[in-house]
Structure 1
């Protein structure tokens, strides 16, 4: 299986980077190996825009642990992947660059996620100075919407999924209905949706200190996924329906949760406004 934008990447390496054909072929082979690993785990859910640092960490770990590659060889794979994702980012094929936190093979393989925060939304709306966008984003994730869906999610669609009247009222109060009777949940001043989640993540980032957990759309989605997976009362079919993922993806996330993920239950502690 060819990796996404393979032809464009090879042209980029040849014309802009002025790399030798042998170097381009070697880099392409590394990227191809990663993409086959990623696609094999996620199946139809595989999307280059959804690749995150943790996916690349898992891949590098598999090279080291399963194929017994040496550190310098693993680092060559990482170098090629960085070049590939820089290309994708530079030409706007992806929204965000996923490799900022990786530094050679000396990376932390354990990812920390705060889980089971969804039932605390009625308390979170009372936290002093919290951004309404934070509540809206968390409410949408808690309702099962995926990050790429939230960008163009209408307010009415989310409100139909919210059961708690206080949370529903908070969202209505903090929504501008002057330009549209059913505005986008997270809209720009002119009422149009954002092109990506970058500006939204920038807006809600300060609330990380208030709430005590990472607040990017992807981190919230993964904390929701691991919250659902930690509920042992749910059957596989119930989990698949809640998360709307394939069985391959479910097995992939379960493996991650077992080998690479540490979880901690959410607690407001001193954060709520008393």
Structure 2
């Protein structure tokens, strides 16, 4: 018997089957609802008390959606898809009298966003950014690691930067690393942790989270005048790399950038249309 991932899963999936919903779409519903209830279980007092779906109201769904925007930087298209999944689910529960509320009723979808051009030129000016004392060292470290091909979910992992080989990096980057080490020394000593991205206050887990990193990145956007969102920086790096190496085959580019093979066409299109 498969594990139940969210309340009323079996009944809801039977309803999706009755409506001949595609398997891929069913998987999307499962992912959304599993994530939603996992979030409620850990961060929502209403649900934590009794784990009762019939107690959830609009503000509980709003809290989850706000987290997706703030912490995961979802775009409006993803926001609308998640809201649609939740709306279908709660309408199903309401139709069976399993909840007296329809918590998604007053929640509105967001307008379609215009695609913003990705800034890929920041990579070409990395030396200047690393030498700029107006930028926090964590901002500069994030930019540097991005140009090494590491996305944020990799370089924030515990023990990753602690074991990173940097001895062959060029001299200007070594100069920044010297400044970074001076900043980190008291933190690494206090926490007995050799990683780079550490909290500056006492904590059981000293590692900086993605929301914590954003607290350093966002103010520095007033200096750079472009988005310092780690995902946007990484996209800019990928576009820059592909523009500089147009001769690479798809296979070679995927290997060099550690990309999913299915993503290479998308980034090649971005590179072709980048101004």
Identify the TM-score tier after normalising by the shorter chain. 0.5 to 0.7
Residue 241 of structure 2 corresponds to which residue in structure 1? 228
Query: How far has the Cα of 1:235 moved from its partner?
Result: 0.8
Residue 197 of structure 1 corresponds to which residue in structure 2? 210
Q: Distance in 2 between matches of 1:10 and 1:29?
A: 21
Query: How far has the Cα of 1:230 moved from its partner?
Result: 2.0
Calculate the aligned-residue CA RMSD, in Å.
4.3
Residue 80 of structure 1 corresponds to which residue in structure 2? 84
Query: How far has the Cα of 1:229 moved from its partner?
Result: 2.1
Q: Distance in 2 between matches of 1:31 and 1:78?
A: 15
Q: Rate the CA distance shift 1:235–1:257 in 2: closer, same or farther, 3 A.
A: closer
Corresponding residue to 2:140 among 125, 135, 139? 135
| Match status 1:32 vs 2:35 | no
| Match status 1:166 vs 2:171 | no
- C-alpha distance after superposition, 1:209-228 (max 9, x if no partner): 10111112211111112212
Residue 268 of structure 1 corresponds to which residue in structure 2? none
Contact kept in structure 1, 2:199 and 2:208, CA below 8 Å: no
- C-alpha distance after superposition, 1:221-242 (max 9, x if no partner): 1111221222244513442233
Give the length in aligned residue pairs: 205
Q: Max radius of gyration: which structure? A: 2
Structure 1 unaligned runs (5+)? 37-48, 58-74, 85-101, 265-274
Query: How far has the Cα of 1:194 moved from its partner?
Result: 3.4
Q: Which moved more, 1:155-164 or 1:20-29?
A: 20-29
Query: How far has the Cα of 1:136 moved from its partner?
Result: 0.8
Residue 96 of structure 1 corresponds to which residue in structure 2? none
Residue 226 of structure 2 corresponds to which residue in structure 1? 213
Q: Distance in 2 between matches of 1:54 and 1:230?
A: 28
- C-alpha distance after superposition, 1:180-203 (max 9, x if no partner): 776111012358453731111122
Query: How far has the Cα of 1:33 moved from its partner?
Result: 6.9
Q: Rate the CA distance shift 1:181–1:253 in 2: closer, same or farther, 3 A.
A: same
Query: How far has the Cα of 1:131 moved from its partner?
Result: 0.8
Q: Which SS does the other structure have where 2:119 is aligned? A: strand
Structure having greater relative contact order (Cα 8 Å, sep ≥ 6): 1
Q: Distance in 2 between matches of 1:27 and 1:178?
A: 59
Q: Distance in 2 between matches of 1:144 and 1:54?
A: 27
Residue 54 of structure 2 corresponds to which residue in structure 1? none
Query: How far has the Cα of 1:117 moved from its partner?
Result: 2.1
Structure 2 unaligned runs (5+)? 30-70, 89-107
Q: Distance in 1 between matches of 2:268 and 2:76?
A: 14
Contact kept in structure 1, 2:198 and 2:208, CA below 8 Å: no
Q: Rate the CA distance shift 1:103–1:230 in 2: closer, same or farther, 3 A.
A: farther
Q: Which SS does the other structure have where 2:164 is aligned? A: helix
Q: Distance in 1 between matches of 2:168 and 2:87?
A: 41
Residue 127 of structure 2 corresponds to which residue in structure 1? 122
Q: Which SS does the other structure have where 2:240 is aligned? A: helix
Corresponding residue to 2:254 among 230, 240, 245? 240
